[in-house]
Structure 1
Amino acid sequence: MTRMAICFTIGVSVALLGTVFPAAGKEGAETPESTALLSSASLLLGAHRCGRGEWPENTLVAVREASCRWPDIVLEVDVQLTSDGHVVLMHDFGVDRTTNGSGYVGGMTLEAIRALDGAYHFSTDGGKTFPYRGTGVTVPTLDEAFAAAPNHRFFIEMKDGAQIGRATAEAIQRAGAEARCLVASVSPLFLEEFRAVAPDVATVYDFISAADMLAALRGGDAWNAYKPAHRVLALSHTLRKRFEITPKELDSIREKGILVSMFTLNTREDILKALDLGVDNILTDKPSLLADLLEEEDAKTSPAGDGTAEDRQS
């Protein structure tokens, strides 16, 4: 696949943005609708924790800033469950690193978490300044994130919490966001719980299902009969090397309709390597860098005057 083929196209309409994460069913089968709509908009531009290198991670500030700049950006968020059953955006099990509070998310009520400064420790200059401290940035719920970016795609990683799978599924359903969400977890149990409630939402391979998939891939005829268990395989350069996944194998994986996401790529070199591999999605802490590189790559292959690079700035 050429870089031009994988470079993203802007999906401004709700119809485009709302249908690009088709899900494999419980038995790995796809619906006709999901197959037809798979290529409606590119997934390449992804903001890890909504762009934690540019704005306070997992906050509405980051959601709004990223979504306003790029109509086609995929917003990656981490979610956990509060003690009173609310799904909130938070990467760490504890609130200490990002807020002015301390303690575990699962041991706090939503009211207690809302009282914290969600951008207290955010700095882009090594701690010399804290531009968002004291400005009213709070820890948001997943419902609030959906409301802040109603037309954008979300890559949601479930971190922790009893019933986190069910609660996440119900939040997605409340927002009517089933077709614009991709859900991941390192826990197969969380994914199983999630899919029991929302079987049509796209999900990401966990370590166990990924190992099964790789075994089939390297098992000769077994690959011909293999039915994808999930829609996306998420890899880092380190994981790809550790499991010795070759570019040819990545092509075979993608030929099965499995999208390949790579994370967390924050340098020009790593991003260009991923583009050369033909991946479908890149998650970065620096979405401005990734957007610029995608524009540069597109300019190399696009006919002069087609307006593509200019359109990306809209």
Structure 2
Amino acid sequence: MTPLRAGLLGVGMMGRHHARVLHELDDVELVGIADAAGDPHGVAGTEGVLPDVDALIDAGIDIAVVAVPTRFHEDAALALAEAGVHTLVEKPIAHTIEAGRRMTDAFRVAGLVGAVGHIERFNPALQELRRRLEAGELGTAYQVQTRRQGPFPSRIADVGVAKDLASHDIDLTAWVTQSDYAEVAAQTGFRSGREHEDMIAITGRLESGVIVNHLVNWLSPMKERVTIVTGEKGAFVADTSTGDLTFFANGTVPLEWESMTVFRGVSEGDVTRFAFAKREPLRVELEAFRDAVLGRPNDVVTMAQGLRTLEVVELALASAARPHARANAG
């Protein structure tokens, strides 16, 4: 078959990895790269870098990946939709809900694949976790906790930690549990002198009744990417930095230590760390996008799904901006 002609808009910290994978992807030929800032990582080779999305469209592309700052997503995506180009934009889908809706509508009306790069869905640990939850290995799920923290990334200037990082956790939680958010609230902090929040604590409940908590910041000297799903039979712990998944089973051995028998609840059981194939999440994500364009079975994250994630993020930020009741010491 004739390869899909691909274009890439943006070759910054994330775009350079898209360029590498697109060069290697079967049934895809990367024919153009555009970035107004040039090619800081030298990924374009001898062909050079085009100046903008219009020049990329003029190269005659079938599909495109948009990896520019969030505030530029809408203009680029709408131009690509008008040109009939299937497009994947990096997360979050857009800087505002209104922009995300315009993008979603444009691709739907044009009959094009519009996708969002929520890459954590393609992390091997989370894919294995979802498969095991579907198989009933946890029983009823009770709670999902995520921790996503690390040093400040200088590449991010136009959004806060909620849209940049918490969007990962909101999307993966709804996807892993296969349940949408029913309610959400949050607290934010501004500690680094920027206009956007650099820390957020989110709590909420899914439509299934599962309680969720997300702790996210750019203020930690250590990097942590952890998802914990606690349920009827124990707890799964997914480390998405390493792609590892571990199951902590509820214990079935009677306690013989007399002082511990007064406690009620579960006890510690077997701990199992699973072995499974670990493919690069970005490669799996771009394969899904390619397969969606080619009409093959796929797990692409649609723009409608990306928009819903942004809506939940905005609800959390709105909650944090409202006055809250103070707890007074007695």
Output the TM-score relative to the length of structure 2.
Answer: 0.30
Which structure's residues are more often helix, by fraction? 1
Output the TM-score relative to the length of structure 1.
Answer: 0.32
Larger Rg: 2
Q: Which has the higher contact order (CA 8 A, sep 6+)?
A: 1
